[in-house]
Chain A
């Protein structure tokens, strides 16, 4: 965590963007944005924006990556050069490779990979605008894209981060809270079984704060789940002012 801000992150019980501690940013989810892909989705939470596309199941290249009895789930997470305040060099880096790896496992848990032996399912994710929470946004988009592609899944995967800023535990951190906060805890969950498929954490949390953070994430799951389901049925869905439309 980058260190303390000179400005407080909480004013009169409200966050800098006016949200309550257990409130997520407004969200939008639209499927089918990449017609050439088997499945695709565009997702935004606040100013964080992401596009995901799914190709496959198809033949595995390179051949040595092929797994005889199940599908290989391969994620490529990529931040576009103009998505951050300072331009970033195009192409993979250590951070994007790590995120791609943990995302693969987070999503694979939900896919019946044994139904597609010796194939690969490629998931490409692009962050078009970054404002904290890009990996959680990427997982929501990728989960919706997988379902949109008609891949057989035991559940959707929903993801949001919680954390601590200014000593307060809060849900879905945005940029200033992420930059100057004390802890960040991205989590992905399969809502039907409430099985956790991704968890990462950096910063400083007491045991009590950790439990509190997890509670906020768990309570957010029904909203994320309904949003994905609604978008898959209607083509698009949004969440604003506590309501899904």
Chain B
């Protein structure tokens, strides 16, 4: 990002404007599709403006962890694949990819949208392992929020495969049984540029942001996950204001999801 761009964007944002014409608290246009991957047990494709991600759910059967014998397993992986942006390079997942995987995992897990007891098959012996893999197609900023929505929609779309007598999944035969979801986790991400917090930053805005904060909320407006990343400190007031915005924006986004 060139210095002239930095100054230009910073100036705009300090006046409450953004280069794509949005207000500081406006999201880009949202659209989503589900059931797009035939071999996935559940799948979704989510777009915020030019940012696009796909998520797929796969079920397998494993042995439950000894400390939770009556619960299934759950894992979110996200890769920042070089197909989706000139900023990413091939190779094993870098810290930024691990961070986003873990933050999205926490947002879904801690929202309690899934009851892991529903994933149990035989206590202590067999349980469903639910893997969600998320891939950006075009990484034009704010992958966090898009990833949480894609993961949620893929879970909502997911149907269990049939099990044989040895509890081996028969992937060719799908049941109509899906997952019971108890909540809609929603993440709202902010970039701090100058003294302003903006929601749903684009890639160009992320390049000049001095700090970022991701806030996950659930249906009742409670907070279920949070992550700060970046070098500039945030003030207490900024944080409280961000939480207010995250709760309000979360509500708006949940309304949009009803149409998917």
Interface residues of A (CB under 8 A from B): 33-37, 47, 49, 51-53, 55, 76, 78, 80-87, 90-91, 122, 124-126, 128-131
Contact = CB atoms under 8 A, between A and B. Distances in A.
Contact of B140 (A35, A82, A84): A35
Interface in B147-205: 171-172, 203
A87 to B, nearest CB: 4
Given A124-B82, A130-B39, 19 more contacts: A34-B83, A34-B84, A34-B137, A36-B50, A36-B84, A36-B140, A47-B38, A47-B39, A52-B83, A80-B54, A80-B135, A82-B37, A82-B131, A86-B171, A87-B133, A90-B77, A125-B83, A126-B135, A131-B38
A52 B56 CA distance: 19
B160 to A, nearest CB: 14
Contact of A90 (B50, B86, B133): B133
B40 interface: yes
A36 B79 contact: no
B60 A87 contact: yes
A83 B39 contact: yes
Given A35-B50, A81-B58, A87-B58, A124 B137 contact: no
Contacts of A91: 92
7 contacts: A36-B139, A36-B203, A52-B83, A82-B133, A87-B131, A90-B77, A128-B36
Contacts of A124: 81-83, 90
- Majority secondary structure of chain A interface residues (helix, strand, loop or mixed): loop
A180 to B, nearest CB: 14
B138 A84 contact: no
A90 B98 CA distance: 13
A34 B47 CA distance: 12
A36 B139 CA distance: 8
B208 interface: no
A122 B39 contact: no
Contacts of B131: 81-82, 87
B142 interface: no
Given A36-B140, A86-B171, A90-B77, A122 B133 contact: no
